[in-house]
Amino acid sequence: MKALDELTFDNRFARLGDAFSTHVLPEPLDEPRLVVASKAAMALLDLDPAVAETSVFAELFGGHKLWAEAEPRAMVYSGHQFGGYTPQLGDGRGLLLGEVYNQAGEHWDLHLKGAGMTPYSRMGDGRAVLRSSIREFLASEALHALGIPSSRALCVIGSSTPVWREKQERGAMVLRLAQSHIRFGHFEYFYYTKKPEQQAELAEHVLNLHYPECREQPEPYLAMFREIVERNAEMIAKWQAYGFCHGVMNTDNMSILGITFDFGPFAFLDDFDAHFICNHSDHEGRYSFSNQVPIGQWNLSALAQALTPFISVDALKEALGLYLPFYQAHYLDLMRRRLGLITAEDDDQKLVEGLLKLMQNSGVDYTLFFRRLGDESAELAVKRLRDDFVDLAGFDAWAELYKARVARDGDDSQEQRRERMHAVNPLYILRNYLAQNAIAAAEAGDYSEVRRLHEVLSKPFEEQAGMEQYAQRPPDWGKHLEISCSS
């Protein structure tokens, strides 16, 4: 266990130099205070959880203090936003403070979001509000607990600093952890600004640090791209299987590590709805729930274009062709497990699709359906769940197929089925209304609800005593909340 002043820095990205990032100091928040910290994320830095309660912790992550070895930098990148190319983006309000390595030898980027203006702030104020910082914190840690690759969050620091959005709010900072903050948009920036030397340096950096095993391959860059395709396909398969809608899948929000990155107006589905759009400024539904799958491929194509100086177009196309099969395999594997199936049959895809169609028509709660399906034997569970469906004949027909399918998988005990299914079907997810309740309390100065919700979501598969209220369908007011896109 380490104290705060015992972190060991090795700032490899900063060493790439001024073509890649600019030195900027954080701008402190007034009266910084701890809102919430993640013990699990602190463990990634070997930090003693007790240090979160010290005033130095709030000062460090509220922009007042800095380690002597930290080298705060704003990174430059660009990206495709809603399909159109924006030539220059970059860290407009976040700073890469440095890279820390832990006792296991892993490097973690410390990125402070909401740390003030940078050369890339454009019209923005460089700040983040408490509301969006809490949402990012809760989502990153909740996704991780569900087994969905994601950037992590160490803490949220609140303040009395006024920040203007639709109304006056308070500024906050979230300390994000990831093994890299390099986005598809980093590669696009050097490609479109025609800086082949820097682009090659960036590619070498990513290959050496994050995909060293690809060095052994005959074409290392191609092997790396294939790996990026596969990781993104797997991440999106998990989003789809668990009902996570990202909302802003611009290429500047896509990580080269295939982790969920940059949280905005994201949402978990309550009722199953393939057409759900969580981003209210997304009028065409470009980033609707079901569109996330083709958009994942679109984004990888944008990255492929930026990699044409290193890899032949034919090889890139072939690698892109792997996306859908990878996606399908991961998705189907997870959905089979969510249904409690052990073996694989050709018609399983149809079984899943048939169920989702029925859920869509009846507005069935996506999370609770699967959890309840595992509570009992297939026979009893479908009987009980039947009431949630409007199309009873349709559901009965599906239930017959399902029971027969389970029977073909062979006998297993009720306990085994339950254990197996509950291990992949969460009871608790970050429903928008739960986040909203926690935010309202925090805005009034009470952080206990954010902390409790974070605790509950850190063990989503485990039934927790006294936490029944977190495992309910949303109340009417909480069903279709309009989450502000300003953050």
In the complex, the residues that contact ligand AMP under the rule CB under 6 A are: 89-93, 120-121, 124-127, 248, 253, 262, 264
Neighbours of 252 (CB within 10 A): 21
239 binds, options ligand AMP, Mg ion, none, Cβ within 5 to 8 A by partner type: none
Q: How far is the C-alpha of 237 from the C-alpha of 184, rounded, in Å?
A: 19
Is 252 designated active site? Answer: yes
124 binds, options Mg ion, ligand AMP, none, Cβ within 5 to 8 A by partner type: ligand AMP
238 binds, options Mg ion, ligand AMP, none, Cβ within 5 to 8 A by partner type: none
Q: Cβ(277)–Cβ(287) under 8 Å?
A: yes
Report in angstroms the alpha-carbon separations of 116 from 73, 78, 298, 390, 473: 12, 20, 32, 52, 38
Binding segment for Mg ion (CB under 5 A), chosen from 33-41, 133-141, 252-260, 270-278, is 252-260
Q: Which is nearer to ligand AMP, 149 or 247 (CB)?
A: 247
Q: How far is the C-alpha of 366 from the C-alpha of 387, rounded, in Å?
A: 15
Residue nearest to Mg ion (CB): 262
Q: Find the shortest distance in angstroms from Cβ 235 to Mg ion.
A: 16
Nearest CA to 13 out of 112, 100, 99 is that of 99
Q: Which of 11, 251, 253, 297 binds Mg ion (CB under 5 A)?
A: 253
Q: Which is nearer to ligand AMP, 180 or 367 (CB)?
A: 180
Q: Find the shortest distance in angstroms from Cβ 174 to ligand AMP.
A: 12
Question: Judged by CB under 5 A, does residue 188 bind Mg ion?
Answer: no
Q: Which two tokens stand for residue 311?
A: 């890899």
Q: Which is nearer to Mg ion, 45 or 134 (CB)?
A: 134
Q: What's the one-letter identity of residue 57?
A: F
Binding segment for Mg ion (CB under 5 A), chosen from 122-130, 150-158, 251-259, 335-343, is 251-259
Neighbours of 18 (CB within 10 A): 10
For β-strands 267-268 and 244-245, DSSP reports them as: antiparallel
Q: Which is nearer to ligand AMP, 127 or 131 (CB)?
A: 127
Q: Find the shortest distance in angstroms from Cβ 74 to ligand AMP.
A: 9
Element (H, E) at 264: none
Helix (H), strand (E), coil (C) string for 318-361: HHHCCHHHHHHHHHHHHHHHHCCCCCCCCCHHHHHHHHHHHHHH
Q: How far is the C-alpha of 150 from the C-alpha of 180, rounded, in Å?
A: 11
Instruction: Exactly one of 91, 252, 271, 365 is catalytic; name it.
Output: 252
Q: Which of 99, 109, 262, 270 binds Mg ion (CB under 5 A)?
A: 262
Number of residues that bind Mg ion (CB under 5 A): 2
Q: Find the shortest distance in angstroms from Cβ 124 to ligand AMP.
A: 2
Q: Which is nearer to ligand AMP, 94 or 426 (CB)?
A: 94
Q: Which is nearer to Mg ion, 253 or 425 (CB)?
A: 253
Residues paired with 85 in a beta bridge: 80
Q: Is the dihedral of CA 186, 110, 437, 167 positive or negative?
A: negative
Report in angstroms the alpha-carbon separations of 347 from 75, 216, 426: 47, 39, 25
93 binds, options Mg ion, ligand AMP, none, Cβ within 5 to 8 A by partner type: ligand AMP
258 binds, options Mg ion, ligand AMP, none, Cβ within 5 to 8 A by partner type: none
Catalytic residues: 252
Q: Can you give the binding site for Mg ion, defined by CB under 5 A?
A: 253, 262
